[in-house]
Amino acid sequence: MPASKTPDSPADTSAHRPMRTFGRIKSRPIKPLQAALFDTLMPSIAVPDPKAGPVDPTAMMPDAKAVWLEIGFGGGEHLAAQAAANPDALMIGCEPFLNGVASALRHIDEGGLKNVRLHADDARAVVEALPDASLDRVMILFPDPWHKVRHNKRRLVQDDFVTALVRVLKPGGRLRFVTDWKDYAEWALERFQRNPHLAWQANEADDWKVAPADHVVTRYEEKKLGDTAPLFLEFERTA
Residues placed in the known binding site for substrate? 148, 180, 218-221
Q: Where are the beta strands (DSSP E) in 22-128?
A: 66-71, 89-94, 116-119
Within a 10 A sphere around the Cβ of 167, how many other Cβ atoms? Answer: 17
Say if CB 226 and CB 180 are below 8 A apart. Answer: yes
Q: Which of 144, 207, 214, 227 is catalytic?
A: 144
Q: Which DSSP state fits 228?
A: S
Nearest Cα to Cα of residue 173 among 22, 49, 57, 94 = 57
Active site residue 144: yes
One-letter amino acid at 193 equals: Q
| SS3 state at 112 | coil
Nearest Cα to Cα of residue 38 among 50, 53, 26, 24 = 26
The H or E element spanning position 16 is none
Say if CB 220 and CB 75 are below 8 A apart. Answer: yes
Binding site residue list: 70, 95, 122, 144, 148, 180, 218-221
Q: Buried b vs exposed e over 113-132: b needs ≥16 C-beta within 10 Å?
A: bebbbbbbbbbbbbbbbbee
Cross-sheet strand order for the sheet of 231-237: 116-119, 89-94, 66-71, 135-141, 169-179, 231-237, 198-200
Residues noted as catalytic: 144
